[in-house]
Amino acid sequence: MLTYDVHQHLWPAAFLAALRARDTAPFVRDDSLVTPEGAFAFDARAHDPDARIALLDRDGIGVAVLSLQPTLGVEALPPGERDHLEETWMAGMLDLVAESGGRFRALAPWRVAEGFAGMSVGASALVEPGRGAEALAAAADSETLVFVHPEAEGSLPHGRPSWWSWTAGYTGQMQRAYLAWLGGGRDAHPGVPIVFAQLAGGAPIHHERLTHRGVHVRAALDPLTLFETSTYGRRAIELCIETFGVERVVYGSDVPVVDPRPTLRAVRGFGESVAHILQSETPGRLIA
């Protein structure tokens, strides 16, 4: 049975060229990527499709599920610029999927689109009323998988360490997105399968706190709300499994942003049966 990594990012050549042609964030210059969060070292080899398949082989992963990360800040661009970048990524990604021999599947950014296994949205789609209404309604109509990912945080607050936005900002976004889903999102879209990246910023720790405000959290444990593992290890994943059940957790890595091996070791450290559910059985049902 195939194994899946449901959280990877890959840029087709035409998309990278579009970023290199820009002079406002997001853009690429030489060996730097500039986003609303700042400038970061960039190596185009991380987006070589052959190298990515070799990485999948190294890690024993059959299929990478690819999305366009909202942390680039594309969603905040004027509509014409946003559409150009998203459509360029989608067109190139369809070619990569077709040429990959089944090793790549992809999620369309903020829309249902033919040839894609679902859609990816930023956390604001759930947090900000109306921002993601059209995309979520389309997903509901087609019962399309929705993958929720943090968005660009903006520049680093003065005096904060370099890891601040990645740790405090992204997890905070994911917590708010998940709580917004509990607070009305699921009721509005009962048939939508949804996966929250990064264990929804540590969602399990909030359930005990919610009970102090009269929230019947057991009612929120529906089988179509799932949690992805990227950047976490054994303790956090184990808590998520204990809280929601093993069938509600799926393996994802956030390649090429982070080294996948620590999380992969943690998932496989639970034993073959648990790893099979997180990497094969559950994602196999989700990915059309």
Tens digit of pLDDT for each residue in 252-282?
Answer: 999 999 999 999 999 999 999 999 999 999 9
H helices then E strands: how many in the chain? 14, 12
For domain 4-286, the question of CATH label 3.20.20.140 is answered with: yes
- Confidence at residue 163, expressed as pLDDT on a 0 to 100 scale: 84
Residue 45's φ and ψ, nearest 5 degrees, are -65, -25
- Confidence at residue 237, expressed as pLDDT on a 0 to 100 scale: 96
- Confidence at residue 72, expressed as pLDDT on a 0 to 100 scale: 96
Residue ranges, the chain, pLDDT below 50: none
Q: Any idea where the domains of the chain sit in the sequence? A: 4-286
Name the residue among 70, 63, 65, 103 with its Cα closest to residue 86. Answer: 70
- Confidence at residue 167, expressed as pLDDT on a 0 to 100 scale: 85
Residue 27: helix, strand or coil by DSSP?
strand
